[in-house]
Amino acid sequence: MKAAIIVFPGSNCDRDVAVALEASLGRRPLMVWHRDTTLPDLDLIVVPGGFSYGDYLRCGAMAAQSPVMREVKARAEKGVRVLGICNGFQILTETGLLPGALMRNRDLRFICRDVWLKVETERSDFTNRYAAGQVVRMPIAHAEGNFFADDATLAAIEDQGQVAFRYCGADGSVDDASNPNGARNNIAGVFNPGRTVLGLMPHPERLAEDLLGGSDGKTMFESLVEALS
């Protein structure tokens, strides 16, 4: 699997995801600066978390217009797998590769804590090592993670099986009490219709080895390596 990580001014999870990917892949991914306009042959592009361009305008809005994203979009349209984590998810919705938008959290505060997530499907290159219905733990750290889509878009997302993860309780219950940021239908992560692009607010790279307190996130990188190697 040939993987690259896009680096924007203000990215702060680029090296964390590089470490997590390397642990599963056995090879260092390529780091690509936002000004680059060409990409080598790739199987996976990661758009990492952070505060690209200082979160000016709104999270992800400026990064979506950066030179490299034109090429990322072109590759995604050719079927190259794209993973957007947190700010990366925001960038992918701003770019139009994923539906919906990420709004300010319901209580207007930055939230940094572990959450429980329900895996909606194992049928994707990002989730094949999980089981559908499995409850996993990952950290969130965001101010704008409140997933919104209008009624028609939300219905399409649900009908086409585009929900990847939902916020839930430790027992798997999906309700308001287990929704940290007000996301519609407790959505924490969505696919494009072909399930070749995934965006999620939680950070799999931050719980990707036991030394960090858990390894539920590592399963995503192992899924990708299994699918794309």
Ligand X SMILES: NC(=O)CC[C@H](N)C(=O)O
Burial class of 210 by CB neighbour count within 10 A (0 to 12, 13 to 18, 19+): exposed
Active-site option among 86, 142, 144, 222: 86
CA nearest to 3, candidates 93, 80, 79:
80
Stretch that binds ligand X, among 72-80, 136-144, 150-158, 214-222 (CB under 6 A): 136-144
Using CB under 6 A as the binding rule, whether residue 55 contacts ligand X is answered as yes
* Alpha carbon distance 25, 19 (integer Å): 10
User: Annotated catalytic, 142?
Assistant: no
Stretch that binds ligand X, among 33-41, 127-135, 140-148, 151-159 (CB under 6 A): 140-148
* Alpha carbon distance 120, 151 (integer Å): 20
Using CB under 6 A as the binding rule, whether residue 183 contacts ligand X is answered as no
57 DSSP assignment = S
Using CB under 6 A as the binding rule, whether residue 220 contacts ligand X is answered as no
Taking CB under 6 A as the criterion, the residue among 6, 43, 49, 188 binding ligand X is 49
Using CB under 6 A as the binding rule, whether residue 144 contacts ligand X is answered as yes
Taking CB under 6 A as the criterion, the residue among 47, 59, 62, 63 binding ligand X is 59
Using CB under 6 A as the binding rule, whether residue 86 contacts ligand X is answered as yes
How many residues touch ligand X (CB under 6 A)? 12
- Kindly state the smallest distance separating residue 10's Cβ from ligand X, in Å: 8
User: Annotated catalytic, 86?
Assistant: yes
Mark residue 156 as left, alpha or beta (left: phi above 0; alpha: psi -120 to 50; beta: remaining): alpha
User: Annotated catalytic, 205?
Assistant: yes
Enumerate residues 6+ apart whose C-beta is below 8 A from 116: 135, 136, 137, 167, 168, 169, 170, 172, 178
Using CA atoms of 16, 22, 27, 28 in order, give the dihedral in degrees to the nearest 10. 0
Stretch that binds ligand X, among 47-55, 162-170, 182-190, 217-225 (CB under 6 A): 47-55
Active-site option among 13, 94, 203, 222: 203
Using CB under 6 A as the binding rule, whether residue 146 contacts ligand X is answered as no
> Token pair for residue 145?
């993670």
Using CB under 6 A as the binding rule, whether residue 50 contacts ligand X is answered as yes
Residue 43 or residue 205: which is nearer to ligand X going by CB?
Answer: 205
> Token pair for residue 8?
């924007």
User: What single-letter amino acid sits at 65?
Assistant: Q
| Rg of the chain in Å (alpha carbons) | 16
Catalytic residues: 86, 203, 205
Residues contributing to the site for ligand X (CB under 6 A): 49-51, 55, 59, 86-87, 141-145
